[in-house]
Structure 1
């Protein structure tokens, strides 16, 4: 039995404490060509398959550059996005942008680049008309929880995933409904082209 607890956050405002990047860095969205090039570096933690899938669905990558080095990055999507376990996808309300796969190179840790990059990306997306940024953090990832709260994101709900032999039971707390957060199964989406419902997963909605 595999069990996961995902804590869901929404950042609905730009925290001014994190919009100033250190002057030696450049922070911006990366082009597909740049992403593919950076992905060739095994230290970047972006496989060829991951990059191909992300770019195919129009996802964007916001990076912090130290010269020619990609010091930190985070990915953003409005489409259902693969999570772990990889058979499952997370979908959100289209009024929000979904942030996933935040990464900081080891030698750049401790400079708050994760929070700075997410805040600058949030500012850009809110300028496009999005209401805020949604992300999830696994309950035992203390560093990411601290960084997410530091930038002002608010915990609004949780997702419990229980899996065994390819079968999953998902419990989504009531707070997730407001943001359209739900889990879908890959084979249901591939076979029908529409979001999977209870035939793919046992999904329960919480009352709190």
Structure 2
């Protein structure tokens, strides 16, 4: 018990050092509130093609590319911490989602998912977005591969690859507002906040709204279980991998 308390205190101390007292307080209040009711605030961010650091895309590198379902199943067997369960993979590919990843020496070191149609955010919530944008979600960098700028490189290379296939203005994503590590990672590679989307409810969402800055670009649609487009069941607050940058 004492060891757990010390571990919790150390995590809190590190969070304060990295993100400041205000953001730490907001993080704690946000999580505490969502333990009893649903008060979700998503920050909507975009990365236009003009804001990409294209110098990161220099020459070919066969370690990067779009990965098939079979490849991801095999790679996830080697590292369960990748959070790529078979059920998620089958549902994502059935929707037409695509995974762009970095594989080195047979190990998946980083990946992100890209969607062109409605995509689950979490239970009962679906991302609906401007068709001129591609929705980026569920990004992850393995701890052993961090510190190599793989996230920024991967986004630039994915946008370059996608641009060969279709015309689009940029990427769009949503991050819960208390998730400072993810927001910092996005800012570092050029994403800009265009607005916020909120969701209110109890066990299930009841009301969603968006600020004027992003209303024409993004909304969180409330869906019933019958119409929700294929999302594994999770609690509304405990799991945030679909809207976060794990790095």
Q: TM-score, normalised by structure 1?
A: 0.82
Any stretches of 5+ residues in structure 1 without a counterpart? Answer: 194-208
Within the candidate set 28, 36, 40, 1:4 is matched to 40
Q: Does 1:140 find its partner at 2:178?
A: yes
Gaps of 5+ in 2: 1-36, 230-247
Q: Distance in 1 between matches of 2:201 and 2:76?
A: 31
SS at match of 1:176: coil
Give the secondary-structure state (helix, strand or coil) at the position aligned to 1:145: helix
CA spacing shift, 1:176–1:76, aligned 2, 3 Å: same
Which stretch has the larger CA shift, 54-63 or 6-15? 6-15
Q: Distance in 2 between matches of 1:126 and 1:170?
A: 32
* CA-based RMSD: 2.3
Structure-2 residue corresponding to 1:201: none
Where do 1:178-193 residues align within 5 Å? 178-179=216-217, 181-187=218-224, 190=227
- Alignment-derived partner of residue 128 in structure 2: 91
Displacement, 1:17?
A: 4.7
- TM-score scaled by structure 2? 0.70
SS in 1 for 2:168: coil
| Pair member with larger Rg | 2
> Per residue, is there more helix in 1 or in 2?
2
- The secondary structure found in structure 1 opposite 2:158 is helix
Moved beyond 3 Å, runs of 4+: none
Per-residue CA deviation, residues 83-103 of structure 1 (Å, 9 max, x unaligned), is 13x111111111110000001
- Correspondences of 1:58-207 after superposition (within 5 Å): 58-84=96-122, 86-127=123-164, 128-179=166-217, 181-187=218-224, 190=227
